[in-house]
Amino acid sequence: MDVLAGRKTGGYIDGSINISGYPKNQRTFARISGYCEQNDIHSPRITVYESLLHSAWLRLPKSVNKQDRTMFIEEVIELVELSPLRNSIVGLPGSNGLSTEQRKRLTIAVELVANPSIIFMDEPTSGLDARAAAIVIRTVRNTVDTGRTVVCTIHQPSIDIFESFDELLLMKRGGHVIYAGSLGCNSQKLIEYFEAVQMVPKIQEGTNPATWMLDISSTAVESQLNVDFAKLYYLSKLYKKNQELIKELSTPTPGSKDLYFPTQYAQDFLTQYRACFMKLHRSYWQNPSYNVTRFFLTTVFGVLFGIIFWNKGQQTATQQDVFNLLGATYSAIMFLGGSTCSAVMPIVSIERTILYRERAAGMYSEVAFAIAQVSIEAVYVAVQTFFYCTILFFMIGFPWHLGNFLWYYFFMSMSFLYFTLYGMMLLALTPGYQIATIAMSFFLATWNLFSGFLILRTEIPIWWRWYYWASPMAWTIYGLFASQLGNVESLVEVAGHGSMPVKQFLKQSFGFDYEFLGIVAAAHVCFVLFFLFVFAYGIKFLNFQRR
C-alpha cells in the first residue's frame, strides 16, 4: 500500500500506476489522496481542533474561505465522533493525552479535512481491543458513506470488522494475489469462490469468514491439498474479469483530461509559513516543560553569575580585574548556550517526524517549515536573552550607556540564536537525537577550547589560529568584551608594563579592537544564516525515514 500511496522510501519498485487512465503523478495524487499511518503521528502539544485546523488550512484549495473551512472541520469532527475531545491536548503515544483509539480517529480526521477522494489506511485497528477497533471501523464506514474510497490493510479482523468492507484483495506470502473481488453479503461471494475449489473444507456455521479464509489459504493447507491458490486465481474467471476491468480503467475516457493543479501546493509560500508558524506557536505556548525550564535556567544562571561577578564591571584597575570580567563573559555564554543547544534537539526531533508525514501529504514546502521553526525559536530566544542580559548587565555592573547595553543584548541574543540553530542543524543532518548529541559535544568542546578564554588568541600558534576565527564563541566573547571595555580610557595596572588605558590593554593582550565591532556583528549574522541554511538544506534533502 505504501507503493500505491507513493510513501515508499526504499527498495526496488517496478510497474506502472494509472489514475483514470493517465500515468500517476505523485505531486498531483498527494493533493487528492489521504494516508493514515499506523503510528498516528501528530504534534503532541496542540489540541485536536488545532490539528484539524492546521491540516485544513494547508490542504484545502485557496477558494475555500475561512468560514467554509471552519464548517467543514466541524462536520469532520462530528463524523469521527471527536466532539467531546475537540479541546484536548493530543499528547504523546502511550504517555499522555489521547488514547490509542482516539488517536486513530484523529489520524482519520486529519486526512478527511483535506477532502480527499481516496484514503489509504495502514492497519487502522492495529493495537486496539475489540471495542476500540469497532469504534474505529465505524468511523471508517462513516467515511465511506460520504462517497470516498477507503483502502485498508488489515490482519486477523473480527467478523464484524471484516464484513464492514465491500471489496477484498487477498495476498499470500510472496505478494501473490489469491483473491480480488467483492465480498458480498455476509462474505458470501468470497465463501463461494473458495468452496468451489476441490477438497477445500466448507465453512462451519458461525465461523469468522476471515479466519476460515486465512486458515485454508495457509502454506501448510496448500501443501496438504496439493493446490496453489495463486495459480488457481490466475486461471479463474474472476481474474479475467478483473483484467478486463483494469484494461478499461487504464484507458482514458474520450474527452477527459488528466488531473492538473497549477501549483505544487494548495497554498502559497507565505500562507504555508504562517500556518506552520501558528502551529508551532500554539505548540510552544502549550509546552511548559520546555519553556518553563528554559526561563528557569536563564534566571538561575543569570542570578548565579551576577552574584559571583557582582559589580566586577566597575573594577578595571588591575590586569586581574580585566581577566575576571573575561571569565564572567565566557561563563555567561558557555553554560546557558550549551544547555540551549541540547534542549532544542528533542523538540525539533519530534517536529521533524511530523514533517515527514505532512511533507508526503503535500501540505507545505520544507523551506517554509524550516523558516517557521527558526522564527518561533528566535522569538523565544529574544525574550529569554532580554531577561538574561538585564540581570547580568546590571549585576555585573558594566558602565551604563544605552549603546553599551544594546551591543551587549545584540551579541548575547545572536549567540543564543546560533547555539539554538546549531542544535537544530545537527538534528537535521543526523538520523536521531542521540547521534546529534554526540556530534554536539565534540564541536562544542572545540568551540570552547578556541574561544579565546582558555587560550588567548595572541597565544595560539599562527597555524592553529584559524580555529579561533572559526569558533562562534570566540566572536561573541570578542564582541561582548570589546563593546563594554573597548573604548574605556581609564588606566589599568599591567604587571611588568606599568599603567595603560584599558582599551590599549585589550588590543595588546587580547587583540580586541572597538573599531572592529561592525565586522564582529556581521560575523554573528553570517553564523546564524549559515546554520539556518544548513538546517533548511538538511530538512529538505535528507530523509532518514525508512518505509
Which domains can be identified in the chain, with CATH numbers? 1-155 (3.40.50.300), 162-250 (no CATH), 269-541 (no CATH)
C-alpha cell read off for 186: 455476509
* pTM for this entry: 0.91
Model pLDDT, residue 131: 85
CA distance 396 to 402: 16
Report pLDDT digits (tens) over 190-201.
Answer: 999 999 998 899
- Write down the residue that cell numbers 463524523 correspond to: 79
pLDDT in tens, 443-477: 999 999 998 888 888 888 888 889 999 999 999 99
* Percent of the chain surpassing pLDDT 70: 100
Q: What is the mean pLDDT of residues 323-336?
A: 90
Tell me the pLDDT band of 530, cut-offs 50, 70 and 90: very high
Considering only residues 48 and 15, tell me which one the structure prediction assigns the higher pLDDT. Answer: 48
C-alpha span between 531 and 201 (Å, rounded): 67
Where does the pLDDT of residue 517 fall: very low under 50, low under 70, confident under 90, or very high at 90 and above? very high
**Can you give the pLDDT at residue 435?**
94
- Position 1 scores a pLDDT of 84
How is residue 440 written as a grid cell? 554536539
| Cell numbers linked to 388 | 538574561
* pLDDT exceeds cutoff 90 at 490: no
Q: Is the pLDDT of residue 156 over 80?
A: no
- The pLDDT value recorded for residue 378 is 97
pLDDT in tens, 165-224: 999 999 988 889 999 999 999 999 999 999 999 889 999 988 999 999 999 999 999 999
Of residues 547 and 504, more confidence is placed in 504
**CA 52 from centre of chain:** 17
**% of residues, the chain, pLDDT over 90:** 67
Q: Can you tell me the distance from the alpha carbon of 332 to that of 389, in angstroms, rounded to the nearest whole number?
A: 9
Residues 472 and 448: beta-carbon distance below 8 Å: no
Q: What is the pLDDT of residues 52-89, one digit of tens each?
A: 999 999 999 999 999 999 999 999 999 999 999 999 99
- Provide the pLDDT confidence category of residue 343 given band limits of 50, 70 and 90: very high
Q: What is the pLDDT of residues 276-312, one digit of tens each?
A: 999 999 999 999 989 999 999 999 999 999 999 998 8
Specify the pLDDT at position 20.
87
User: What integer pLDDT is reported at residue 196 of this predicted model?
Assistant: 92
* All three cell numbers of 438: 554526540
pLDDT at res. 152? 93
Taking 80 as the threshold, does the pLDDT of residue 94 lie above it? no
Please say whether the beta carbons of 117 and 149 come within 8 A. yes
Tell me which residue has cell 493447507.
Answer: 221
Taking residues 384-392, report their average pLDDT.
95
Q: What is the pLDDT of residue 357?
A: 93
Cα separation, 378 vs 475, whole angstroms: 20
pLDDT at 31 over 80: yes
3 state DSSP class of 434: helix
pLDDT for position 44? 95
pLDDT value at 361 more than 80 = yes
For residues 488-495, give the mean pLDDT. Answer: 85
Identify the H or E element spanning 319.
helix 319-360
**What pLDDT does 93 receive?**
85
- Asked whether 544 and 432 are in contact (CB, 8 A), the reply is yes
Which amino acid appears at position 349 of this protein? S
The C-alpha cell of 101 is what?
Answer: 483509539
**Per-residue pLDDT, 178:** 95
